[in-house]
């Protein structure tokens, strides 16, 4: 991994203080998107960009459905 901004899903989850399953779920809904997938199918994310999106999603998630959050992020 030559780009220090690209991180594995576990590293992103730890940075966000979320379970990996929640990060995968956000990815499946399109709230966050992977930057790259290795030939071994490992998801890599742009750490800074995804941290911002996840923080925004958490901030607006209090009284909204995930679909509404997705539209706002």
Per-residue pLDDT tens digits for 11-51: 999 988 889 998 888 888 888 888 889 999 998 999 888 88
Q: Which residues contact 72 (CB under 8 A, 6 or more apart)?
A: 56, 60, 64
pLDDT score of 17: 86
**What pLDDT was estimated at residue 10?**
93
Give the chain's domains with CATH numbers.
6-72 (1.10.1660.10)
More confident position, 4 or 28: 28
Q: Tell me the C-alpha to C-alpha distance, in Å, between residue 14 and each of 8, 51, 63.
A: 10, 11, 25
pLDDT of residue 14: 92
Residue 8's φ and ψ, nearest 5 degrees, are -75, 165
């Amino acid at each position: 991994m030559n780009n220090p901004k690209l991180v594995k899903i576990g590293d992103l989850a730890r940075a966000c203080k979320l379970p990996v399953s929640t990060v995968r779920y956000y990815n499946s809904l399109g709230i966050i998107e992977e930057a790259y997938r290795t030939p071994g199918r490992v998801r890599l994310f742009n750490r800074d960009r995804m941290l911002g999106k996840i923080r925004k999603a958490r901030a607006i998630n209090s009284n909204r459905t995930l679909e509404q959050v997705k539209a706002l992020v």
